[in-house]
Amino acid sequence: MPDTPVRGDLLAGSLDMLILRTLTLGRAHGYAVARHIESLSNDVLRVEQGSLYPALDRLLRKGWVTAEWRKSPTGRNARYYTITRSGRKQLEARAAEHKRVMAAIARVMEQT
Amino acid sequence: MSLIDAMRHRLRTWFGREALAREMEEEVRLHAELDTLYRTGQLSTDELLDARRRLGNRTQLGETRRSAAGLASWDRWSQDLTYSVRQLRRSPAYSAGVILTLALGIGANSTMFAVIDRIMLRAPAGITDPDRVVQIRWLRQRKTGPDTAAVMSYPSFAEFRAMTDVFSGVAAFRGPMDAAIDRGARASTARTTVVSGDYFGTLGAHAAIGREFSAEETDERIGRYVAVISNGYWQRRFGGATDVIGRKLVVAGFTYDVVGVMPPTFTGHDLAATDVWLPMAAAPTLRYGAPETWASDRRTFWLSVVARLKPGLAPEAARTRAERGWTAWNIQPEDATARPPQPVFISMIASRSAARPEYRVAKLVGFVSVLLLVVTCANVANLLLARSLSRRREIAVRLALGVSRGRLMTLMLIEALVLALCGGIAALLVARWSIPIVRATLFAGTSLGEWPLDVRIVGFTTLVAVIAGLLAAAVPALQASNPRLIENLKLGGRDGALHRSRTRTVLVVTQGALCVALLAGMGLFVRSLQRIGAQHLGLDMARVVVVGFDAWRGQMTPAEVVDAYVEMRRRAMGIPGVESASLSVGVPLRSQYSYPIVVNGSDSIPGLPRGTTPYIYAVTPEFFRTMGTRIVLGRGLAETDNATAQPVAVVSEYMAKRIWPGVSPLGKCFKIKILRPTPDCISVVGVAEDSRRLGLVEEEPAIQYYMTLDQSPLQHYQTSLLVRALSPEAMRSDLQKVAQATRPNLPYVEVQLLEDLVARELRPWRLGARMFGLLGALALVVAAVGAYSVTQFTVSQRRQEVSIRVALGARGSEIVSLVVRQALVVSLVSCLVGGLFVVLGGRFVATLLFQTSPRDASVLSIVMAVLLGSTIVAAWIPAVRASRVDPAEVLRSQ
């Protein structure tokens, strides 16, 4: 498979992917998404508000997630995000891309 | 999909910047709040994506698989259902219109199904395992072709009864017929059936109280005076008394012990209910044939026979064996070499439904109610179509959004089905209300008890509702998913409706045409009734009452009977309102006597076919005045025409014409052969107009003559009392009481209107007129609603055009006439097509009509006028509303 360069912002792209991946588990509000990513990565990946909500907004705009206001289990008014079908497709593509990039990086790192 | 979502998001960003900012702010505030809670260890794990939800991944995988297998579609169905219900609730007037229309159309069908199910598809109630019970008939060859006869002689029955290897039970019966109960002032009548053999055992019916007859009690050589009564009679006569067993019941002058009461479900073998069952051997005056010889009389055919086939024996095998063993058909010894008639087994259901006029009418009306359903479907299709057209923008948007055509059609079908099922439920209410009415009009006096809405009716209604829903939805669903709708969207829904109205027009024409056909059906039956009523019958049917009682053998002497009638006549004349009264042996429309006569010394009368014997009435002189029969020539009968005077007769016009053609019959002479000593001459002193002998419809006038009681050969105790009254119906019960009180030991005196004797004959026409009228009225309502809704819709589609016209100075009346004219044109086409239906379908009802052509022009034109009139009214309302539009407002809004 020929190597093609990663397009766009790698970091921003990764966050999108992580958010989408998290949302495949079910509908969630922003804080739950952040907590999930942080706890699964053993707090290696920190998700800051400043990047999380713009990222969600971006996903909304691209139609990969939808959002709606509803009561949380503890009775708070929260904005819940749901992944759409095109979001899932996007996630698949990103995940494949990610695997390819990670393999490429690993190869480079081992060689050095 | 993504494009649409993105678009929607962008739209919101554009138009709702402030709202968006507020949302973002709120989100960030919540984030901070939850983060604080988390750090202090107070955050509920509920707020997070917990372990359980992580497992949700698996559930989701499962869901994908389920969806692939089509299982998840239930969710979608319920979604669609909710959506449909919401849509329908948004336009209650439209939904109510559709549901009402369906309720009427389907309800009529449910009702007719209930009728047909009861009388044609089910065995009489209360019979165990009715499939094994057959009526034994026999095949005979007639000029008109082979048919089966039900009645046979007692010896024939006895032979079948002896075939214990073929039948597990055989019973003979005669009835139900009216029999007098008690005597004097307490006298009444009851429907009585005399039975022989194992009647109850064969039918598998068991007494609820007491017992059925024993073998000994029905044995023709023994017989016991015992009676089994029906539940209804037990209630009516004995007030449901628990100690009814052993009580006495006097039937036709003989006293019987009540031994059993049947359960309410069992009312006998026939549609006509039985009150009292008696052993044939113990019912001397109710059985047929010569006294004491009926059990061996092969010549008299008077019994119906039912049998239960032995278990495991095929009907055909049973029939063959029964045919081999049957010898008593052979009336004369010299017939022994002739081929025996074939016995035929007929199921209880078929035997019951044969030959009653109600069935022919019921079948016809069943067919007609299907027509009504078609009208209904056309109308509902029209309403759905109109609605889908008015929603075509919404539909076009949905198509543009990528909703598949199939799913769109599914949605529309679901909507139609929801409507249809609601209509079905409403139809059940209609049926609940209409079934008792139909039962009362069609089956008055039959054994058909209560008709609850059972599983079969509900099932049928549901099925019809679903079919109607699918049929009605098919046209609009196909049209709505038409790709051209996209163009409609582009056109902004400005026209579209106009060039697409062809389908709707066809539907409106169809329903109008069927409506014309139904109303014409009613008109033809009404016309038949009118023609029958307008006939000159030669007797005043509406004014005459027939009073009589069973003068049974041994209870009163003939002289006592005659005395009773003479006294009864005297008392009847005292009742105010009675105009005249006459005794008569032989009652027009009921029963007559005839004897061979001799004219000019010859047996064969010139002008009459061989074997024709004229009918004789032996009457008192008031007869002609009482019956309203006019004397057209000579004189009537007089008191002086008594036993010592020269015998005289008044003959009917037709008799005079046939026997003495071209000459005056006055002074002519004929002889009655049985009169001993044969008188020299019975001279004709007068001619009476022709009058009906048997019924309303007679192919040729009866040949009949009248003599006084004293001079006639007829036995006086077979007399009846004829009473002419101003209002017979009103004095019926008075007359009964007065007549009943004539003698203390008189059996039940029956008072019948002469009209009632022909009521049965009139029934098919009356029924036809009523049922067609009811269904025709329903169809008219449905068609009017259709015309209204279509006009309404057309008008709403043409608002713009109308407003421009108004703006250009058109007057309101011009707009109204424009709209109404269009509806009228459609209606006229309906009339023509409907007229065609009537002309083509007329021959199916022709046999049920009386002197009325199915193409009767006056009926057709009246019906068409009714349809046109209702169309004008239906189109007028929306037209007037349309003419009142404010052009400025309409044009601005478009």
| Least confident stretch, B447-461, B463-477, B483-497, B665-679 | B483-497
A87 domain-assigned: yes
Strand, helix or coil at B800? helix
Residue A4's CB: how many other CB atoms inside 10 A?
A: 10
A14 domain-assigned: yes
CB contacts of A48 in chain B (<8 Å) are none
Strand, helix or coil at A106? helix
A27 domain-assigned: yes
Cβ–Cβ gap A25/B6 under 8 Å: no
Task: Tell me which residues of chain A have a C-beta less than 8 Å from any C-beta of chain B.
Answer: 22, 24-26, 28-36, 49, 52-53, 57, 60-64, 66, 69, 72-74, 76-79, 84-86
- B445 burial (CB, 10 Å; 0-12 / 13-18 / 19+) is exposed
Task: Work out the pLDDT band at B487, boundaries 50, 70, 90.
Answer: low
Domains of chain B by residue range: 2-77, 153-328, 357-533+761-893, 541-758
* Chain B residue at shortest CA distance from A23: B49
pLDDT at A4: 42
The Cα B571–Cα B264 span in angstroms is: 41
pLDDT at B129 over 60: yes
User: ipTM value of the model?
Assistant: 0.81
Which of B5, B13, B56 comes nearest A84 by C-beta? B5
Min CA distance, A67 vs chain B (Å)?
Answer: 10
Which of B2, B28, B46 comes nearest A63 by C-beta? B2
Cβ–Cβ gap A26/B2 under 8 Å: no
pLDDT at B244 over 90: yes
Contact B701, B654 (CB under 8 A): yes
pLDDT at B770 over 70: yes
| Least confident stretch, B240-244, B423-427, B549-553, B630-634 | B549-553
* Chain A residue at shortest CA distance from B52: A25
The Cα B882–Cα B823 span in angstroms is: 14
Question: Domain residues for A20?
Answer: 10-111
The Cα B777–Cα B765 span in angstroms is: 17
Longest dimension (CA), chain B: 139
Min CA distance, A14 vs chain B (Å)?
Answer: 20
C-alpha to C-alpha distances, B27 to A69, A75, B23, B33, nearest whole angstrom: 10, 15, 6, 10
pLDDT at B68: 43
Task: Work out the pLDDT band at A72, boundaries 50, 70, 90.
Answer: confident
pLDDT at B596: 81
CB contacts of A24 in chain B (<8 Å) are 57, 60
Instruction: Please state the domain count of chain A.
Output: 1
* Chain A residue at shortest CA distance from B49: A32
Nearest residue to B342 (alpha-carbon basis) of B182, B486, B146? B146
* Chain B residue at shortest CA distance from A84: B2
Which of B13, B31, B56 comes nearest A30 by C-beta? B31
Among A31, A40, A62, A66, the strongest candidate for a mutation testing the B interface, having the largest count of B CBs within 10 A, is A31
The Cα B604–Cα B597 span in angstroms is: 9
Mean pLDDT in residue range A12-24: 84
Contact A78, A29 (CB under 8 A): yes
pLDDT per residue as tens digits for the range B292-334 = 678 888 877 888 899 999 998 888 888 888 888 888 777 665 5
The Cα B688–Cα B637 span in angstroms is: 11
Nearest residue to A64 (alpha-carbon basis) of A7, A19, A5? A19
Which of B3, B10, B27 comes nearest A30 by C-beta? B27
Mean pLDDT in residue range B245-249: 92
Min CA distance, A21 vs chain B (Å)?
Answer: 11
CB contacts of B4 in chain A (<8 Å) are 63
Mean pLDDT in residue range B41-49: 73
Q: Provide the number of CB pairs (under 8 Å) joining chain A to chain B.
A: 85
CB contacts of A85 in chain B (<8 Å) are 1
pLDDT per residue as tens digits for the range B619-676 = 999 999 999 999 999 999 999 998 888 899 999 999 999 888 888 999 988 888 776 6
CATH of residue A24: 1.10.10.10
By DSSP bridging, strand B188-197 and strand B167-181 are antiparallel
Residue B880's CB: how many other CB atoms inside 10 A?
A: 16
CB contacts of B34 in chain A (<8 Å) are 31
Beta strands in B295-354 (DSSP E): 304-309, 343-347
pLDDT at B813 over 50: yes
What the block records as the tokens of A105 is: 């990086």
The Cα B511–Cα B766 span in angstroms is: 26
The Cα B696–Cα B759 span in angstroms is: 10
pLDDT at B161: 92
pLDDT at B704 over 90: yes
Which of A75-89 are b and which e, b meaning 16 or more Cβ less than 10 Å from the residue's Cβ?
Answer: eeebbbbebbebbee
Q: Between B10 and B24, name the one with better pLDDT.
A: B24
Amino acid at A8: G
3-state SS string for B96-156 = HHHHHHHHHHHHHHHHHHHHHHHHHHCCCCCCCCHHHEEEEEEEEEECCEEEEECCECHHH
Strand, helix or coil at B161? helix
Among B12, B22, B27, the strongest candidate for a mutation testing the A interface, having the largest count of A CBs within 10 A, is B27
A30 domain-assigned: yes
